[in-house]
Structure 1
Amino acid sequence: MTAIQTTPAVDLQKLTTVRQRYTEEANKRLRPEGTSQFLQLNSADEERLRALAEDPWVDHAALNAKASPIENHGTYRFFVLGAGFGGLQYAVRLLEDGIATADEIRLADAAGGFGGTWYWNRFPGLHCDLESYVYLPLLEETGYVPSHKYAPGQEIRAHADRVAEKWNLVDKTLFRTDIESTEWDDHAQLWTITSVERRGPSAAAIKRIFRAQYVYLAAGVLTRPQVPKIPGIPSFSGPFFHTARWNYAISGGSQSDQRLTGLEGKRVAVIGTAATAIGAIPQVAKYASELYVIQRTPAYVKPRGQRPTDAGEFQTKVAGTKGWQYQRQLNLNSFLTNSPGPGVENLVNDGWTDIPAYSAVLGSPSHGIVDPSPENLEKHADAFHVLDLPHMECVRARIDQLVKDPDTAAKLKPWYPSWCKRPTFSDTYLQTFNQPHVHLVDTNGKGPSRVTETGIVVAEKEYPVDIIIFSTGYKAVTGNGSPSARTGVNIIGRGGQSLDTKWQATGAATLHGYATSGFPNLFFSGTNQATITGNNIFMLGLIAKHVAFWIAQAERRVGLGKRAIIEVTREAEEAHSAEILKRAPFYSALAGCTPGYFNAYGENAAITDVHEKLKRARGTAWSEGAISFINHIEKWRDDGSLQGLSIVAARELKSLL
């Protein structure tokens, strides 16, 4: 397959008109409150709302019967916050590289089991939106073959369990546990970690303080559900729940049996039309007597093209060679960043690989270092819009083809560039609106006005409903996005310095995005000053490999039997920050996006202070795409000098490890 066309011919007058429409639609949705327009469920004043964030899947009795893998005042070599695919891949890398044994590793997670977001999310219609063969990690190592090109959620969660079992991590993980703080003890040269294990409504929580040599923060951000602050929500007399904690006791069915018989004869409202809703709405429509879809911003929906995995084809065309999964991930990324070489075959060949302008958010090597002059930045944005218009016109035209009612079709059309929101994929969502009992309630960008005892009011019209389902996403990362803010952990380094305070004062400061000075032996996942891949599992694997390399090399340097202290130097993090700042103008094309998760619901665009803008710019990703970033850090590794890392042996203290 040839490289993606980068300079399509477009009608410039039409492009001008479309961009004006984009601006108008974005302005409709801008609210001065930014992220404050949402209520975080776990901190809601009303018990009924707080309860929506509780874990509906956990088996407290079974977990309470097990011995705790983390003892109060215990000391461990490796501590990992997060038992999703980020934490699991890191632990597996330590094991596979011979850096650690399973007995030297401990993990903790707020959930009641493995999987991260795949533990929490079990809503009907849930599937992976990326090809399973590049998304599910460690397929080659486990020998597992996904059932479909896009695996259902239950299968993905089962794969997390499979990984944990294969590498003997099940009894090394403490679930239902929040980490309150992680503090560096300069005397012991270890991290002191304070945790609280929640053991269910009939058992007291257990607070533990323990220590670790190395700490890795792998907790994800798509775990804290929110609802908009719609007046009157608590007054609703019927049941309601959030898709992030789907309540099958209300809907009927289960994740394995998605016959939602509890919705039969019921008038149901789904508030929100982001990725979760795209999966759930067609399933809800099969059972509800009336379904009202409350839309503030139309979703960007592409066909999924789901199909079962053909075992023979998988073995011969997908997994036929050693290292196939990593090579397939790289191949997909070259198309995501609009940079495949001439004649390179598109191995994944799906809806992700035909969005050339999505590289505006992922980075691309095709642009180099972007000149920050206002004239050039305008040309830079123009080029992405030219690249994007044919694609988005096709997306909008497909709606006209599938949705019979012209008025409904018009309201379902996304009027924003492809890079402003993560695309969604469904073979049934748009067609659902052809059913007579399914009603699109478009709010013209405003959201619902209020909730009453018996319904939802939009523009002074009340829609009577029996059940409300919130599909309103998760808490967005705001400010400078420090690892402390992202994970909700108070992290204190050398000299009592708070990691969040450091980043709030100066902006992001790291070496390669994964460690920062003043916080020895602390590593974290994320995109700040690193890379965005579009495939989060792929990215988490890259991070695990790089951090494990640091540790292996450091321990080799200090010698057998000694503890290594690894710390980024201030000079190195400033040098890396300078490289990121130099590349930050690339992301100027993101300005003007419709409010959403990517831009903290418009908060980023509202910043006018030059100093604050500079701090935010330090937190952008490597602008030349993931493959360029991989080459950059591999060159650093190949150099062998570990430039930018201070590595010393810990003082000899007895009875620490």
Structure 2
Amino acid sequence: MAASTESATQNGPNGAPSAEDLKVFELSQKYTAEAAKRFRPEGLGQFVRLRESSSERFRALAEDPWADHAALNAAPPVPDGAERKFLILGAGYGGLLFAARLIDAGLAVAGPDDLLLVDAAGGFGGTWWWNRYPGLRCDVESYVYMPLLEETGYVPKNKYVSGNELREHACRIAAQWKLEDRALFRSTVKAMRWDDAAQRWTAEITEGRGPGNPSRELKVHARYVLTASGILTNPQIPKIPGLDSFAGPVFHTARWDYKVTGGTPEDGTLTGLEGKRVGIIGTGATAIQVVPRLAEYAKELYVFQRTPSAVSWRGQRPTDPEEWKTKIATKKGWQRERMLNFDSYVTDAAEEGQENLVADGWTEMPAYSAVLGSPRHPIVEPTPEKIAEHVGRLYKLDVAHSEAMRARVENIVKDAETAAKLKAWYPTWCKRPTFSDEYLQAFNQPNVHLVDTDGKGVESATQSGLVVAGKEYPLDILVLSTGYVTPSIGGGSPAARTGIEVYGRGGKSLDDKWQQHGAATLHGVCSNGFPNLFFAPLSQAGQAANNVFTLDVGAEHVVHIIEKAEARARAEAGLGGGGGGAVVEVTSAAEEAWSLEIMKRAAWFTSVMGCTPGYITSEGEALRQPQDQAERAKKARAGPWTQGMASFLKVLQEYRADGSLQGFEVVPAGLAN
């Protein structure tokens, strides 16, 4: 990275680098040095999923603390061998969008026997079901993040709503589309197998029944399977020597334990922390929200930091009913328009004079386009000169913002030494941006102590605390704000990401296909050899800072494909307007052509090569360049569309306007081989 940025500084007046170029070069050197401190050869191996921990104590932390097992056990069970037209894996916002769009299109009818959502949680909401930590709010404006606001008519209470309100909105969607009795909760799908003869999928499911009750094994058959299991689904913890020996209470932020802290998800009065020494490991987007709440009640709070987060302003405020009616929800299609407006700012695509509808900290960082792409810029040629030019441009685009974030720390944090350690030395795009008007301020409180590990992480744990650089910090309670397994695991394979074994035609494994050949899809939503299986878009699709925008665009596209396929199947079978189904499968030629489109754009993401290890870089594993050319090609195939979500949406709209389902083979159900 440093070499690429250096070469980009050689074109100043009279052959001398400009002051801006020199600044970029200096920053790139600093960023490279800070990133180097944090690289670990084990990469993702330095963490373990809660459910896969060798410690029974930590495996237990993965259990659902919120499920009402008595109510769920009293509900009529989904019978073993049940037949459904649609099986949706996930009951968060992605699964709910799939279900709502299918119902609105008339593909799934009212009643419980046409559609089934399966989720490991005890209710609707996805990440908003699991996460109930104090201070929890969405970091994207609620008016663009909360799905189906236009359809439900709901008005969010604040610009950034609480986790409780987001979970309630999931239930609101489920109620409006009559999904409450069309969900199987506390259930994990172990495997899915395509039956060529029956032309359907069989899902092998384990349904939990709560403490003291044996789990239940069942199979569900479905014509179509849609996977929407999210990107924040598998909490992880670091492999800290001795962590299991810590004698005090310990829990992950994704499974908050109010029995320890006091309070409830609705009432963040954490009286259980009074008089206690509390430690929290992690300083990412979750910790930014949690720390101020812990600081309010703990006798002493120790924040263990490997890498500081860049923390921008939040600007929270209640929704003004008059503004809502006259400036926000003013016409049909307002929410999609606002999503696109927001997206244009984070993809460096806002037009001069364009009104900034969201106008928050996100919209001040056009350099975040480094990981989202931008329609403003052409495809980056994979030559050293063009890559250096591209990376240098992004660094220049980022200088003002990243410098402002470091200055913000200095202006807020009173202790100079603490302030210096809280400054983020990486480009804006390397970690999820964070926003708070309370986090940095918390370090001015006498009971809050930053324990900076200089990139090394916590050294070890004892019965009574954590050890950093040979010094033990005694603790009574430990909170693990250590994030989730990256969704790019397994090269972005939808099977690896969800932990489900998926077997398509002839028993072919989806993971094996990804491992052998790399990602292979059309538009990121389907893959040859796996008929009637659709994914929420990730690899080979457009991505947005607002994940619900990504999910809605994907649901819209998948529903179009199924709708057109069924119409064609009915016509070919002579069934007119009713009956029948379809077996729809993308061709190898179509997915290879799309994969080549992704590959030729892959050089855009060379900007991440200077990033510190973390979630976006798979703890540094994404930064390792394979020597083998075939492996490099596989890696290039796994990336997203690099010209931004608006560009990707336009590609999909043009494809749908053609109406021919080009690249798909469609056979009426009952006639396919």
What TM-score range do you get, normalising by the shorter chain?
A: over 0.9
Q: Secondary structure at the match of 1:554?
A: helix
Q: 2:21 aligns with which of 7, 12, 22?
A: 12
Aligned to 1:289: 299
Q: Secondary structure at the match of 1:615?
A: helix
Aligned to 1:178: 188
Native 8 Å contact 1:10 1:390 kept in 2: no
Query: What is the deviation of 1:652?
Result: 6.3
Distance 2:64 2:189 in 1: 17
Query: What is the deviation of 1:479?
Result: 3.1
Native 8 Å contact 1:272 1:470 kept in 2: yes
Distance 2:119 2:532 in 1: 20
Aligned to 1:307: 317
Aligned to 1:29: 38
Q: 1:85 aligns with which of 79, 89, 93?
A: 93
Q: 2:165 aligns with which of 132, 155, 160?
A: 155
Distance 1:368 1:31 in 2: 35
1:63 aligns with 2:72: yes
1:535 aligns with 2:546: yes
Native 8 Å contact 2:20 2:396 kept in 1: no
Distance 1:108 1:647 in 2: 27
Query: What is the deviation of 1:375?
Result: 1.2
Native 8 Å contact 2:305 2:452 kept in 1: yes
Q: Secondary structure at the match of 2:294?
A: helix
Distance 1:202 1:51 in 2: 14
Aligned to 1:632: 651
Query: What is the deviation of 1:10?
Result: 5.8
Aligned to 1:335: 345
1:82-101: per-residue Cα shift (whole Å, max 9, x none)? 00000000100011112211
1:416 aligns with 2:435: no
1:270 aligns with 2:274: no
Q: 1:364 aligns with which of 374, 390, 402?
A: 374
1:598 aligns with 2:616: yes
Distance 1:46 1:585 in 2: 42
**Greater CA deviation, 263-272 or 580-589?**
580-589
Native 8 Å contact 2:409 2:419 kept in 1: yes
Native 8 Å contact 2:61 2:255 kept in 1: yes
1:317-338: per-residue Cα shift (whole Å, max 9, x none)? 1001111101100111111111
Q: 2:53 aligns with which of 23, 33, 44?
A: 44
**Greater CA deviation, 406-415 or 53-62?**
53-62
Native 8 Å contact 1:365 1:624 kept in 2: yes
Aligned to 2:667: 648
Native 8 Å contact 1:10 1:389 kept in 2: no
Q: Secondary structure at the match of 2:190?
A: strand
Distance 2:231 2:544 in 1: 16
2:217 maps to a residue whose letter is K
| TM-score, normalised via structure 2 length | 0.95
Q: 2:410 aligns with which of 374, 383, 400?
A: 400
1:539-578: per-residue Cα shift (whole Å, max 9, x none)? 1011111000001111111113122110000000000011
Native 8 Å contact 1:514 1:547 kept in 2: yes
Aligned residues: 645
Q: Secondary structure at the match of 1:151?
A: coil
Matches within 5 A, 1:392-541: 392-476=402-486, 477-541=488-552
* Segments ≥4 residues shifted beyond 4 Å: none
Aligned to 2:81: 73
Distance 1:102 1:615 in 2: 43
Distance 1:612 1:112 in 2: 40
1:617 aligns with 2:628: no
**Greater CA deviation, 425-434 or 580-589?**
580-589
Query: What is the deviation of 1:40?
Result: 1.3
Distance 1:443 1:102 in 2: 56
Query: What is the deviation of 1:14?
Result: 2.4
The alignment yields a C-alpha RMSD, in angstroms, of 1.2
Query: What is the deviation of 1:221?
Result: 2.8
Q: Secondary structure at the match of 1:187?
A: coil
Native 8 Å contact 1:83 1:114 kept in 2: yes
Native 8 Å contact 2:490 2:497 kept in 1: no
Q: Secondary structure at the match of 2:491?
A: coil
Distance 1:581 1:225 in 2: 31
Unaligned runs of 5+ in 2: 1-11, 13-17, 571-577
Native 8 Å contact 1:365 1:628 kept in 2: yes
Q: Secondary structure at the match of 1:591?
A: helix
Distance 1:478 1:196 in 2: 23
Distance 1:186 1:46 in 2: 41
Q: Secondary structure at the match of 1:353?
A: helix
Native 8 Å contact 2:346 2:365 kept in 1: yes
1:615 maps to a residue whose letter is K
Distance 1:634 1:99 in 2: 20
Query: What is the deviation of 1:606?
Result: 2.0
Native 8 Å contact 1:46 1:234 kept in 2: yes
Query: What is the deviation of 1:234?
Result: 1.2
Distance 2:591 2:164 in 1: 41
Q: Secondary structure at the match of 1:249?
A: helix
Distance 1:506 1:120 in 2: 35
Matches within 5 A, 1:187-206: 187-206=197-216
Aligned to 2:121: 111
1:422-450: per-residue Cα shift (whole Å, max 9, x none)? 10111100000000110000000001111
1:468-516: per-residue Cα shift (whole Å, max 9, x none)? 1010001123231111001111000001100000011010000111000
Native 8 Å contact 2:28 2:610 kept in 1: no
Q: Secondary structure at the match of 1:171?
A: coil
Distance 1:650 1:99 in 2: 15
Distance 1:207 1:479 in 2: 27
Aligned to 1:3: none
1:619 maps to a residue whose letter is A
Native 8 Å contact 1:357 1:419 kept in 2: yes
2:110 maps to a residue whose letter is A
1:506-549: per-residue Cα shift (whole Å, max 9, x none)? 10000111000000000001321111111111110111110000
Native 8 Å contact 1:228 1:472 kept in 2: yes
Q: 1:224 aligns with which of 214, 218, 234?
A: 234
Native 8 Å contact 1:294 1:440 kept in 2: yes
Aligned to 1:96: 104
1:186-242: per-residue Cα shift (whole Å, max 9, x none)? 000010111000101221111011200000000013121111111111111111111
Native 8 Å contact 2:35 2:610 kept in 1: yes
1:211 maps to a residue whose letter is H
Distance 2:546 2:19 in 1: 30
Q: 1:567 aligns with which of 576, 580, 585?
A: 585
Aligned to 1:4: none
**Greater CA deviation, 128-137 or 222-231?**
222-231
Distance 2:41 2:197 in 1: 47
1:158 maps to a residue whose letter is E
